[in-house]
Structure 1
């Protein structure tokens, strides 16, 4: 089933209703890319994004990071250090409004 993004559909299957590929969860809005920082929670991962912010006073760039909690469908196998793409969706919990749609790169590969 196409989800409206240019991503490869996972080989595995799942029957969870909050899966954009095999359930009825729609994706909309931003598609972000980042590195998986934590997989300790059940069905939730934390994706860390690093970006540069210009500081005019020092005429330099400063590194900042943001940590985004995202839903992990059962059909995608994600580990710490992987680079993933996450898409915005309806709020799934108090903090989760994103879902993993693609594992683009392994950490050690």
Structure 2
């Protein structure tokens, strides 16, 4: 099974080797035919943390690292703003 890669914005960088990344997905509502936005926070592991709150990063699915961490940061994309 291929590992999923998601892109999101760093919401919190207060923990030692963990970033909290907010990922937004958009889809069309099946009945209303309106675009709906849903967000979800993921805890991602990072060894040497250079990212700050507001940076855009890519995260990849991996084996469980801790109780909440199942993702790792693979690279830092350029900020859109």
Superposition TM-score, scaled by structure 1 size? 0.65
Alignment of 1:54-65 (within 5 A): 54-65=28-39
Residue 45 of structure 2 corresponds to residue 71 of structure 1: yes
> What is the total number of aligned residue pairs between the two structures?
80
| Structure 2 unaligned residues grouped into runs of 5+ | none
Name the residue aligned to 1:48.
Answer: 22
Alignment of 1:1-109 (within 5 A): 29-74=3-48, 76-106=49-79, 108=81
| Structure 1 unaligned residues grouped into runs of 5+ | 1-27
Q: What is the RMSD of the two structures over their aligned residues, measured on CA atoms?
A: 1.7
Cα shift readout 1:35-72 (whole Å, capped 9, x = no counterpart): 11111222111111111132233221111101111011
Superposition TM-score, scaled by structure 2 size? 0.85
Larger Rg: 1
Structure with greater proportional strand content: 2
User: For the residues of structure 2 that align with 1:72 and 1:107, how far apart are their CA atoms?
Assistant: 21
